[in-house]
Amino acid sequence: MDTRRSFIKKSAVLIPAISVANSVFSKEIMQEKMIPVVISTWNHGLPANEAAWQILEKGGWSLDAVEAGVRVPEADPEVITVGYGGIPDANGKVTLDACIMDEKGRAGSVTFLESIKHPISVARLVMEITPHVMLSGDGALKFALQNGFKKDNLLTPKMNAEWKKWKKEKKAFSSKINIENQHEDNHDTIGMLAIDSAGRISGACTTSGMGFKLHGRVGDSPIIGAGLFVDGEVGGAVATGSGELVMKTLGSFLVVELMRNGKSPSEACEEAVRRIAHKIPDYQNHQVGFIALKKNGEYGSSCIQPGFNFALKTNAETKLVDVEAWMKTL
Ligand code: GLY
Residues 80 and 161: their CA atoms lie apart, in Å, by 13
N-to-C CA span, the chain: 31
Any domain includes 10: no
- Burial of 93 per CB tally in 10 Å (0-12, 13-18, 19+): middle
Any domain includes 110: yes
Q: Are 43 and 320 in contact (CB under 8 A)?
A: yes
pLDDT of residue 20: 34
User: What does the CA dihedral 230, 299, 313, 29 come to, rounded to 10 degrees?
Assistant: 110
Residues 222 and 34: their CA atoms lie apart, in Å, by 28
Q: Are 210 and 266 in contact (CB under 8 A)?
A: no
pLDDT of residue 188: 82
Any domain includes 96: yes
Among the atoms of ligand 1, which is closest to the Cα of residue 213? 5
DSSP state letters, 213-273: PPTT---STTSBTTTEEEETTTEEEEEEE-HHHHHHHTHHHHHHHHHHTT--HHHHHHHHH
Any domain includes 111: yes
Which of 228, 242, 250, 280 should be mutated for ligand 1, with most atoms under 8 A from CB?
242
- Burial of 156 per CB tally in 10 Å (0-12, 13-18, 19+): middle
Among the atoms of ligand 1, which is closest to the Cα of residue 219? 5
Q: Are 122 and 113 in contact (CB under 8 A)?
A: yes
Residue of the CA atom closest to atom 5 of ligand 1: 209
Type and span of the H or E element at 129: helix 119-129
Ligand 1 center–CA 175 separation, angstroms: 11
Residues 320 and 43: their CA atoms lie apart, in Å, by 7
Residues 239 and 303: their CA atoms lie apart, in Å, by 9
CA 327 to chain CA centroid, nearest Å: 21
The CATH number that applies at residue 254 is: 3.60.20.30
Positions marked catalytic: 189
Which of 187, 212, 308 should be mutated for ligand 1, with most atoms under 8 A from CB?
187
Ligand 1 center–CA 219 separation, angstroms: 4
Any domain includes 7: no
Residue 96 three-state SS = strand
Q: Domain range spanning residue 116?
A: 36-322
Which of 44, 185, 240 should be mutated for ligand 1, with most atoms under 8 A from CB?
240
* pLDDT tens by residue, the chain, 330 residues: 333 333 333 333 433 333 333 333 334 444 455 899 999 999 999 999 999 999 999 999 999 999 999 999 999 999 999 999 999 999 999 999 999 999 999 999 999 999 999 999 999 999 999 999 999 999 999 999 999 999 999 999 999 999 999 999 866 555 455 554 444 555 689 999 999 999 999 999 999 999 999 999 999 999 999 999 999 999 999 999 999 999 999 999 999 999 999 999 999 999 999 999 999 999 999 999 999 999 999 999 999 999 999 999 999 999 999 999 998 887
The DSSP call for residue 310 is E
* Predicted model pTM: 0.89
Cα dist from 252 to 54, 255, 273, 292, whole Å: 27, 5, 11, 8
Ligand 1 center–CA 317 separation, angstroms: 29
pLDDT of residue 22: 33
Give the angle subtended at the CA of 192 by the CAs of 31 and 12, to the nearest 5°. Answer: 75
Residues 97 and 111: their CA atoms lie apart, in Å, by 4
Residue 284 three-state SS = helix
Residues forming beta bridges with residue 191, ordered by sequence position: 205
Any domain includes 12: no
Residues 283 and 288: their CA atoms lie apart, in Å, by 9
Q: Are 84 and 74 in contact (CB under 8 A)?
A: yes
Residues forming beta bridges with residue 96, ordered by sequence position: 113
Residues contacting ligand 1 via CB (< 6 Å): 189, 207, 209-210, 219-221, 240-243
Residues 157 and 96: their CA atoms lie apart, in Å, by 18
The tally of domains found in the chain comes to 1
Any domain includes 219: yes
User: What does the CA dihedral 116, 118, 122, 123 come to, rounded to 10 degrees?
Assistant: 120
Residues 330 and 324: their CA atoms lie apart, in Å, by 12
Any domain includes 31: no
